[in-house]
Amino acid sequence: MASTGPAAGPATARRKGATRRSQALSRIRPGGGPDDRQRWQQRKASLTREGILDAAVDSLVDTGYAGLSTNDVARRAGVSRGAMHHHFASRADLVEGLIEHVFYHRMRQFLDDFLARLKQAPPGQDPYRMAMDLHWRSVQSREYGAFLRLAVAARSDAALAAIFTPAARLYDEIWLGEMHHAFPQWREAPELMRLANDVTQAVHSGVLINGATWGAERSAAVLKRTASLIEDLAQLAQT
């Protein structure tokens, strides 16, 4: 069995997790996010920008990529055309900001939830099922709905793909790095960790898309079997 060294105490693990959270998020959005209090207090106009991007997520989820427009987003955000143009002069600018926004909030939501659950978790709780439960919850968010619409649209839109694909690859790189640090049990078997990650993401996306067709019983069976498979891979990683 591979050794992972002395286990850090819960408080140390939480501090390290919070530090890595900030580092990961800063790589996705180098200028900082809405939880960067000093920056956002100094630049209150950025709150308007964040509201516009939240409205853009709603517009994208409700109308699809083809229906996304600066006029609709401005209406949803309750801002003037002038304010909209100040932050996003064109639809292309809005799409670029939206992609960054979606990836940033997906990462932030998962890391915040994971750190909170880690803090509250009783000794001996299965970390893999906890992480999978949180990931399944994250794919049901509006941000993930926006991500799916962007991913599908990018397959037939070269201009969108040129922005979306590099951002998605960066997100994947950062995500895998966070999983590597969150689960030291996998460090001696990174290929198995990537496989577990890829299976989890593929299955959760598939259940999300096909769940209405399959029904609750079939969907639950797939999720349960996938969780068992990930535990098997974790055991294999430690041998």
C-alpha distances (whole Å) from 46 to each of 37, 55, 85, 109 are 11, 14, 14, 20
| Pick from 195, 193, 218: nearest CA to 206 | 218
Give per-residue pLDDT as tens, 68-85: 999 999 999 999 999 999
pLDDT digits (tens, 9 = 90+) for 94-118: 999 999 999 999 888 888 888 788 7
Q: Looking at residue 7, what is its pLDDT?
A: 45
pLDDT tens column, 156-215: 999 999 999 999 999 999 999 888 888 888 888 999 999 999 999 999 999 999 999 999
Name the residue among 217, 203, 9, 46 with its Cα closest to residue 123.
Answer: 9
Q: Report which of 198, 165, 160 is spatially closest to residue 64, judged by C-alpha positions.
A: 160
Fold of 10-182: Tetracycline Repressor; domain 2 (1.10.357)
Map tokens 């994971």 to a residue: 114
Smallest CA-to-CA distance from 71 within 80, 62, 58, 61 is with 80
Per-domain residue ranges of the chain: 10-182
Nearest to 174 by CA among 3, 14, 22, 1: 22
Question: What is the per-residue pLDDT for 2?
Answer: 40
pTM attached to this predicted model: 0.79
* Chain mean pLDDT for the chain: 86
Alpha-carbon gap, residue 164 to 206, rounded angstroms: 21
| Cα–Cα distance, 111 to 125 (Å, whole number) | 18
Q: At residue 159, what are phi and psi to the nearest 5 degrees?
A: -65, -40
Is residue 65 predicted with pLDDT exceeding 70? yes
Could you tell me the CA-to-CA distances from 153 to 11, 34, 88, 140 in Å, in that order?
Answer: 43, 28, 21, 19
| 89-to-74, 79, 95 alpha-carbon distances in Å | 12, 14, 11
At 143, the pLDDT band (50, 70, 90 cuts) reads very high
pLDDT higher than threshold 70 for residue 130: yes
> Residue 60 and residue 73: Cα distance in Å, rounded?
9
Q: Tell the burial category of 166 from Cβ atoms under 10 Å away from its Cβ (0-12, 13-18, 19+).
A: exposed
pLDDT digits (tens, 9 = 90+) for 16-56: 666 777 777 777 765 555 555 555 445 666 788 999 999 99
Query: Could you tell me how far CA 64 lies from the centroid of its own chain?
Result: 19
pLDDT of residue 1: 41
- Residues 104, 106, 108, CA angle at the centre, nearest 5°? 65
pLDDT number for residue 47: 84
Quote the DSSP letter at residue 32.
Answer: -
* 53 in Cβ contact with 97 (< 8 Å): yes
